[in-house]
Structures are given as structure tokens and as C-alpha cells.
Amino acid sequence: MSDSFFGFDTTLPPLNSDQLTGLEGNTGEQNDETEEEDFERKFKEFSLLPGEDVGAFDDEQNFDLSAQLVETGDDLNDETFGNVGQDFDFMESTAKMDSIQKEEEIYVTRRESNNNSENFDEQAKRRPSYAALWGNDTDGMINGNGKGIHSNEASPISPSIWGSFHSPSNRKDSLTLVQDNSNIPGTFEIPQHYTPPQTSPPPGFGLPSHPSNRLPMSLDEIEAQLYRQPGLPEKRIYSLAEVEAAILGINGRPPPSQQLPIHPATEAVFREQETIAYLEQEYKRREKQRKLAEMSRYNGLMTQSDKDFINRIQISQLVTDDPYADDFYFQVYTAIRSRQAQPQMSAFSPHLGGAGFMGHERGRHRSRGSESGLLKMQQQVLRIVNDARRKPKLTQLSLEGALGKIALNSVRNPRQLLQVSSKHNDIHHHAGPSGGIHQPHQKVPSISSHGIVDHRKVLRSIENVYTAVLALEELRRNQPPLPRYAADHEREVVEKWNEEYTELAVTMWEELRVTEMFGVSILSVAKGKKVIPRVLRHCLPDQILTLITMLVANFEALDVCKCVIWGPQGIISPVMLEEIELFMNTVVPPLLQFVAEAPMRIVLGLFGLFIERNNIVWVARSKVGLAFLTMFLSRTEILKQGGGTMQGLPLPEERELLQWQELYNRLFNLLQNHFLPLFPPFNIGLDDMYVWQFLAAMAVGASTEQQHILVTEVRERVLDTVMQASRLSADKASHKIANVNLFLNALGLDASQLKI
Amino acid sequence: MTEETHTAPVEPAAVEEPLDLVRLSLDERIYVKLRGDRELRGKLHAYDGHLNMVLSEVEETITVVEINEETYEEVIRTQKKTSEMLFVRGDGVILVGF
């Protein structure tokens, strides 16, 4: 487990027997074997007995340990960073385990001696103790069958656990023992059946699945039986399939006469199933035990302070002052996740998820009331961050007397292959995009065509806008709380923040160059469109008005207008359609919101400017142009009907109403005879709802005479649409009809009244 | 490809080093030439200092030179693939065109 984790070479020579004896404590066995045997047996007991005991005993502590190993989640992380408790220390707990196992072993062997004294009398005389007997018995299994089972899946079984059994004398012993047992298959089954089991066995259970203490023995015996019966050579290594086949073969045989009086065939089936199930279970258990034993080899290699030290190194690599810059996706992800999960767990702010890596005030004042462990970890992290801040980050270290320099590399400071002066970057970093210090750029005469250079300038401006927007958003996230008390330092913080924010906002605004035609070019690039909603969030109402005025005045120049007019051929590239959608989804909504709150005076001003500056007949054929017109018309209509009073706006004055009427008439006159071409070509499958919306807005403000003109002009389209709807499926048809009704209802009509 | 080397005189902020020029093409369609006679055209979504890149709507062109067994004539064949989204590992990038 730990060998590669810390990058250390942890393969140490195995403990010697003295150490092992010390580790295991006195078990009270009579050690009359040779030292070598003793050593091996210790190993065996260490690696195997726990496996047997896990199943045999419902020992709580025992269970505890395995649960920790498998299921310990991050909930114990706090302890990783604080004083690691007992439960994290493998050495101590395994040592404890060991003594428990010893006790259990003694218990088992005692029980064993009670239960099996008649059967094993002979062996008992031969062997010094039952513990030794057990050890050797299983030993034989491992060398013979056990190895065969593991040969496919678990070949890297460490030699120090099992491999050291191959001492010839020992092996011979164990094999003879196995033979003794397995040659009399009936005898060893009796005690199992009549041993009072600790938990009652399910009805119809065969022998191997008794959850009693005898159970490990029974498996071994079965294995031994399997191993002996087919008469295969001992040393042969079985594949798993072979073993299974062998099991089937044995279990198909009639059971020994001592068995309970169950029908032989049924019993065979039962036994077969249970044996297989049991073998699987046992295999898993052993695997777990093996891993445990493997891990325990490294117990006690590191002291607590070593572990703390390494923890600190690892955490300090991850700690950052600016989690949004260094760990952006994680931060956003947790923010989104926690927003979804807010109702249940409001205590967990978005930052707690990443708390380990944020380490500043934000983490501190939001974690109030959460668990103490979390606090502890955060404190530790804070300390690390502060330490890191205090010590400037060294990139090199030259020791006295050393010939070279030692590079200190880290995640943030990877090994540099090139030494390029980063002066420019530093200045840029401190001055920010506001560019307090302008680098004296050489004027390179531009060779390339003007179009390309201009495009590149636009791209550059957009990037600058993005830089500013990102910085502003970062500032917003770090906005200091409003001072509750008259504390001077708090107010200072807020003031400083305001200053920074304003400065950045100005920079951003300047980069947009709204007042120049350049702003239009920015809006002609997809990412320029995308940034608008984010920009407007940091804008003052005045600035939004400026932007919208610029747009209205230069509408013709926008790509979404000039490239998207439905000509007679009616072809627009799909790329352009995407651009329109983007514009409608990004730029229009904030503007719409602004207009929806604007007073009559401003709306009329924009409306007038739009009609004044653009070729309306042409512009109105673009979707966006028409959307603008609809926006102005519907807002003025709402204001005319007194909708503005709810927003605290006064009713439009007489003068304004007159102005509106003038503008409307002008628009109507301009569009007269051009209403039908506003529609996109009929049969290209585009949704023409926006045109119907516009016509509806026109119809509402129209005089009776104008309404008549309107109806006459678009009558054909209305009829076509209704006819088309009658041929379409129900939901599509209803959509079409609803579109037409937008217009007809504004006139006080309905599509159902039409007679085709 | 020569235009990228100019430093335009106007804005100081966004472009400080050659790699910054790639930033200008974020969200734009670019051309990438790769080792192994491969070329990509697609929309740039992200890049890093190794020129690892994420591209979308990519058209990949692979040029294969086959030698006719009998006449020893070289036959140049191109193969095209399209991918919706592609992660390009930077170590294969030879050049990036805007």
C-alpha cells in the first residue's frame, strides 16, 4: 500500500524472528521445534489465523479494523492533517490485532481440543501443541492447494508471507498430516455436525458453511480431501477450473454413511453449491487478510512526525491563495453542486468543498458551525499558507561548499528548461490590464492586408475585455462584507475594493470602445457577443444606455444585420444563423431588460435614432432589427397605457405622445408596401414568430386605416400559413396558428374565423 | 503564418509573448499542423503552455504516401475525419495558424 505512495523505497528486509516474537507477545506455546520452524510458524499464524478468525468470531474490534481499512473515507481527513489518532496508525492497531488474534487462537485451539480430542488424539501426541498442529495443517494446504487456487489471480503473493514455508522438514510433516486427515474422510465430519454452532446454521446446510470455529479447519480438510482424492500428484499446481471440477467430482459421490439422513442427491447438490460459495467467500477473506499482512510489513517505519511532515509537504503543494485561478473548474463545480444541494445542507458553503485549498479569510468566516474536524484542518491549512507567505518562494538553493545549485521545484514552480526573462510578465501582472506602465512597443509597419490587422486588433481588444471582466468577477467574489460597525479598517477595505473595482470597470469599458465604430466590430465576433452580458453586469445605467445608443445608431454595420437580410434568393449560411441566435440570446436580453425599465423619453429617443440612422426597410428584414423595433413598439405601447406607473414612472406627457405618433407614422410609411418581405422565405422551415410579434406590435398602435393596409399586405401570408397548418401534425399546426393569432388577435380577429 | 510575429502597436496587455497570440484565437477557427502528416482545422476552446488544445468541430486531414509496388511511384492520398470535440496533446503540434 504505502510503497509507492510516498515515493520511498519501503522494501526492507523482513523482521527477524526476535522482532517477531517481540511483536507477537508470549503465546504460551511450548517451543520445542527448531528455531527455523518457529520463525515460519510465527509468520503463518500472523498471516493466516486472522483470516480464519474474521469469519469465526463476531469480534467487534476485529471487525472494526477491517471496516476502517476498507471504508475509511474523507471524513477522517481532518485527522490526517491534525494529530493522527490511533485509528490511523496501522502499526499500533495491527499490533493490537495481533494480540487479539493470539488470544483467539488460544481459544480456538482449546475448543478444538475439546471437540476433537478423540479424533486428533493421535496427532496431538505427535505434535507439541494444537496451535502447532493448526499451523502445519494449513501450511500444507497453502503449499499444495492454496497456491494452486491463487496461481492465476494472485501470483504476486509475497514470498515473505507464504513462500518461506518450503523448508523441507516442515513440509514433509504437514503433508503427512494432511494425508492422515484426508484418508479418513468420514471421521472429521462428525464433530463438525455435532459441534454446537455459535450461530444456528440454516436448515439443510452442509458441513462447510458452519460459521463455527471449526470452519477454517473444515475448509482445509475439504481441500485436503480434494487434493488427495483424485490421486493427482501433490506438487501439481491446479487452475481454478480444475479445482472446481475436482469439487464437483467429489461432491457427486455418495456422502459418507455418518451423514444426516438426507437424500443423497439433494445433499450432493447442496454441498456442491455451498462448497463453491464457501470457497469464494474464503478466498475473498484470505485475499483481504493477505493484503493486511502485506501492509503490516511496513508497520512502524515512520514516526508520527514523519507522517505529519509528509502531510504538510503534500498539502502545501496544493494550497493556493487564489483558488479560482488555480483550481477554477473544481471551484465552479462545487459551487454548482452546492447550489443544487442547498436546501439540505446549507451549512456547507461552496467553499467548504475546496476549503483545504483556499485557505484564506473566506474559508474562515463561512465555516462557522461546521464540525470541529473541518475547522482543525482549515487551521492547519491556514498556518501552512501563512508560512508560505512569510517565506518568499525560493527557486534555488545554494549550500555552502556545494558546487552547484539545488533547484527547489514544486507544482507551481516546475523545472525550467529555458531561462527567459519574465520582466514583461511581471510588470503586466502588477499593473494589470489597466496598463499603468505601457511597454514601449515598436511600431512594426504592417505588411499584411488591413482587414486582417483590424480583425486581430478586434480580437486583442476582446481578450483585454475578457481579462478585465474576469478580474472584475474575481473582485466581486471577494467582495468584503459591508462594515457593520464603524470600524475604520473594515471601511478601508471596502473603500479599497470599490476603488479597484471602479478602476477595472473603467478599463473594461474603455477596451470595449463603445463610442467608436470599433465596438461594432467587437460585436461582430462570436466571443465579443458572448462577453456582453458579463460586461453589462458591471456597467452603470449610463454606460448601458451608451452601448444601446451606439448599437441603435450603427445597427446597419452589425454582422447580424448586414449579412442576414433575406434577399430574393433567401439563403443565409448556417454559420450566420448561429450568430443571430447567439446575438438574440446574449446581447438582446440585457438590452431588452434595460429598455423595459426605461422612461418614455429614452425609448422615444432610441426609437427615433433607430429610424433616423438606419435604412429601415432594409434593416427590418433582419431578425435582430425587427426584434429591436418590436422592443421599442411594445415598450412605448405599455408606457402609453400607463404601465410605467408601477415602475414609478410618470404617465407620458402630451408632447411625448405626439412625438410617438409622429415616429410611428413615419415607421409605418417607410414599411408600407414592404410588410410581406419582412417574412423569411416561406418554405425553409424557419420559425417566423418574430415577424408576427412585430406585426402585432404594429397593429396595436395602428389606426383603422393603417390596420386595413396591414391586413391587406400580409393577407396572403396569413392564409398560406393557416393552410399549411392544416396539413401539419397537431402540435406544429397549433404553433403556426398561434403565430398567426399573435397578429390577428391584436386586430381583434382570430384564425378560426378565417374561411379558406 | 508571418503575421503573428508582429506586435501591433496599440494594446499592450493581451499579448506579451508568442504564445499569447494563440489566446486571440480562442473561440475562433484555427489550423493546426501535427506530426505524422496530420492537420486539423477546428474551433479553439482551450490551450495551455504545452499547446495542448481542445478543439471542436474538427476536420482532420491525414496525408498518406503510398508507394506502388510495381512502378515505385509515390501516390499521395489524403484521408479526412471529422470529430465533434478533440483534445490535442501539445507534443505533436508543429504549428498553429490563425
The pLDDT of residue A34 is above 90: no
Provide the pLDDT for residue A195.
44
pLDDT on residue A638: 87
Winning range, highest mean pLDDT, from A115-119, A396-400, A706-710: A706-710
Stretch A257-262: mean pLDDT: 52
Q: How far is CA A439 from CA A28, A278, A428, A442, in A?
A: 84, 77, 9, 9
Q: Are A495 and A502 in contact (CB under 8 A)?
A: no
Q: Which residues of A touch B16 (CB under 8 A)?
A: 424-425, 428
pLDDT at site A447: 37
What's the rounded mean pLDDT across residues A136-143?
43
Per-residue DSSP letter, A74: G
Contact A456 B8 (CB under 8 A): yes
pLDDT at A674 exceeding the cut of 70: yes
Mean pLDDT of all residues in A121-137: 46
- Asked if the model's pLDDT at residue A349 lies above 60, the reply is no
The distance of A429 to chain B (nearest Cα, Å) reads 9
Is A527's CB within 8 Å of B26's CB? yes
Instruction: Please give the ipTM for the structure prediction.
Output: 0.79
Residue A185, pLDDT score: 44
Q: What are the grid coordinates assigned to B68, written together?
A: 506502388
Please answer yes or no on whether B14 and A424 come within 8 Å at the CB atom.
no
What is the average per-residue pLDDT within A139-146? 43
**Average of pLDDT values for A379-403?**
69
Q: What is the pLDDT of residue B33?
A: 96
- pLDDT surpassing 50 at residue A351: no
Contact A443 B9 (CB under 8 A): yes
Q: Cβ separation of B7 and A444 shorter than 8 Å?
A: yes
Residue A253 has pLDDT above 70, yes or no: no
Statement: residue A323 has pLDDT above 60: yes
The nearest alpha carbon in chain A to B21 belongs to A460
Which residues of chain A make contact with B14, given a CB cutoff of 8 A?
433, 460, 463-464, 467
Nearest Cα of chain A lies from the Cα of B16 at a distance, in angstroms, of 7
Q: Which residue of A has its CA nearest to B5?
A: A444
Beta bridge partners of B82: B59
- The string of DSSP letters for A94-122 reads HHHHHHHHHHHHHHHHHHHHHHHHHHHHH
CB B60 within 8 A of CB B80: yes
Cβ contact (<8 Å) for B16 and A433? no
Q: Do A441 and B24 touch (CB under 8 A)?
A: no
- Grid coordinates representing A51 are 483470516
How confident is the model at residue B86, as a pLDDT? 94
| The pLDDT value given to residue A148 | 41
Residue A580 pLDDT: 87
Q: Which residues of A make CB contacts under 8 Å with B?
A: 420, 424-425, 428, 433, 435, 438-439, 441-444, 446-448, 452-453, 456-457, 459-461, 463-464, 467, 511, 525-527, 530
CA A36 remoteness from chain centre: 53
Higher pLDDT, A452 or A576: A576
What contacts B10, CB < 8 A, 6 or more positions away? A457, A460
Cβ–Cβ below 8 Å for B9 and A459? no
- Chain A contacts of B3, Cβ < 8 Å? 447-448, 452-453, 456
**Would you call A209 exposed, middle or buried from its count of C-beta atoms within 10 A (0-12, 13-18, 19+)?**
buried
Contact A145, A175 (CB under 8 A): no
For A415, the enclosing helix (H) or strand (E) is none
Put simply, the answer to whether B2 touches A463 (Cβ < 8 Å) is no
The predicted model gives A151-167 an average pLDDT of 44
Cβ-nearest to A435 among B6, B9, B12: B12
The number of beta carbons lying within 10 Å of the beta carbon of residue A426 is 10
Q: Judge: A460–B6 Cβ closer than 8 Å, yes or no.
A: no
Q: In this complex, do A456 and B3 lie within 8 Å of one another by their Cβ atoms?
A: yes
Spell A52-80 as b/e; 16+ CB within 10 A means b: bbbbbbebeebeebbeebeeeeeeeebbb
Average pLDDT over residues A553-558: 84
List, for residues A571-593, the tens digit of each pLDDT value: 667 788 888 889 999 989 998 89
Looking at the predicted structure, is the pLDDT value of residue A429 above 70? no
Choose the most confident range, by mean pLDDT, from A38-42, A82-86, A425-429, A696-700. Answer: A696-700
pLDDT band, very low/low/confident/very high, at B56 (cuts 50, 70, 90): very high
> Cell digits for A7?
515515493
* DSSP 8-state assignment for residue A239: P
Task: Mutate one of A447, A456, A513 to test the B interface: name it (highest B CB count within 10 A).
Answer: A456
In chain A, residues with a C-beta closer than 8 Å to the C-beta of B27 are 525-527, 530
Residues of A in contact with B48 (CB under 8 A): none
Q: Say if residue B22's pLDDT is above 60.
A: yes
**Residue A97 pLDDT grade (very low, low, confident, very high; cuts 50, 70, 90):** low
State yes or no: pLDDT of A174 exceeds 80: no
Spatial strand order of the sheet with B38-47 comes to: B74-88, B53-67, B38-47, B29-34, B93-97
pLDDT surpasses 60 at A515: yes
Of A447, A453, A467, Cβ closest to residue B13:
A467
Does pLDDT of A270 surpass 80? yes
The pLDDT-based confidence of B84 (bands split at 50, 70, 90) is very high
Which of B3, B7, B14 is opposite residue A463, by nearest beta carbon?
B14
For chain A, what percent of residues have pLDDT higher than 70? 50
Rounded Cα distance between A407 and A397, Å, is 6
Question: What pLDDT does A55 receive?
Answer: 41
Q: Cβ–Cβ of B9/A456 closer than 8 Å?
A: no
Tell me what the mean pLDDT of segment B75-95 comes to.
93
**Residue A286, pLDDT score:** 94
Closest-CA residue of B relative to A447 is: B3
| Distance from C-alpha of A322 to C-alpha of A340, rounded to nearest angstrom | 24
- What's the CA gap between A251 and A276, in Å, rounded? 11
Average pLDDT over residues A431-455: 44
Whether the pLDDT of residue A390 is over 50: the answer is yes
Q: For residue B1, how many other CB atoms are within 10 A of its CB?
A: 10
pLDDT at B64 over 80: yes
Q: Which of A247-251, A575-579, A751-755 shows the lowest per-residue confidence on average (mean pLDDT)?
A: A247-251
Q: Which residue has the higher pLDDT, A446 or A77?
A: A77
The predicted pLDDT at position A6 comes to: 54
| Higher pLDDT, residue A221 or A294 | A294
- pLDDT band at residue A51, thresholds of 50, 70 and 90? very low
Average pLDDT, chain B: 84
- Say whether A444 and B8 touch across the interface (CB within 8 A): yes
Give A366's pLDDT tier (boundaries 50, 70, 90).
very low
Closest B-chain CA to A462: B24
C-alpha A682: how far from chain center: 47
Contact B25, B44 (CB under 8 A): yes
User: Most confidently modeled of A697-701, B50-54, B71-75?
Assistant: B50-54
Residue A117: count of CB within 10 angstroms of its CB = 12
Which one of B2, B8, B16 has the shortest CB-CB distance to A453? B8
Confidence of residue B58 (pLDDT cuts 50, 70, 90): very high
One-letter amino acid at B36 equals: G
A181-204 per-position pLDDT tens digit: 444 444 444 444 444 444 444 444
pLDDT at residue A411 in the model: 64
pLDDT mean over A486-508: 82
For residue A420, which residues of chain B lie inside 8 Å, CB to CB?
17
Question: Between A and B, how many residue pairs show a Cβ–Cβ distance under 8 A?
Answer: 70
**A600, pLDDT greater than 80:** yes
Instruction: With cut-offs at 50, 70 and 90, classify the pLDDT of residue A302.
Output: confident
Residue A2 has pLDDT above 80, yes or no: no
* Cβ neighbours of A411 in B, within 8 Å: none
Question: Across all residues in chain A, what is the average pLDDT?
Answer: 68
Proportion of chain A above pLDDT 90, given as a percent: 3
Q: What single letter denotes the amino acid at residue A296?
A: S
Residue A12 has pLDDT above 60, yes or no: no
- Which one of B6, B14, B15 has the shortest CB-CB distance to A444? B6
Q: What is the pLDDT of residue A52?
A: 46
Q: Considering only alpha carbons, which residue of chain B is nearest residue A526?
A: B27
Residue A272 has pLDDT above 60, yes or no: yes
Q: Which residues make Cβ contacts (< 8 Å) with residue A179, sequence separation at least 6?
A: A228
Q: Do A459 and B15 touch (CB under 8 A)?
A: no
Give the residue from A421, A423, A457, A460 with the most B CB atoms within 10 Å of its CB, the best one to mutate.
A460
pLDDT (average), residues A630-636? 90
Give the mean pLDDT of B12-39. 86
Alpha-carbon distance of A191 to A187, in angstroms, equals 8
More confident: A408 or A523: A523
Per-residue pLDDT at A488: 73
A464 contact residues in B (CB cutoff 8 A): 11, 13-14
Lowest-pLDDT choice from A40-54, A413-427, A624-638, A661-675? A40-54
Q: Is the pLDDT of residue A742 over 80?
A: yes
Higher pLDDT, A15 or A612: A612
* Residue predicted with more confidence, A98 or A296: A296
Q: Which of A395 and A652 is assigned the larger pLDDT? A: A652
**Is the Cβ pair A435, B25 closer than 8 Å?**
no
Q: A463–B8: do the CB atoms touch at under 8 Å?
A: no
Q: Which among A592, A560, A591, A589 has a CA at the least distance from the CA of A577?
A: A560
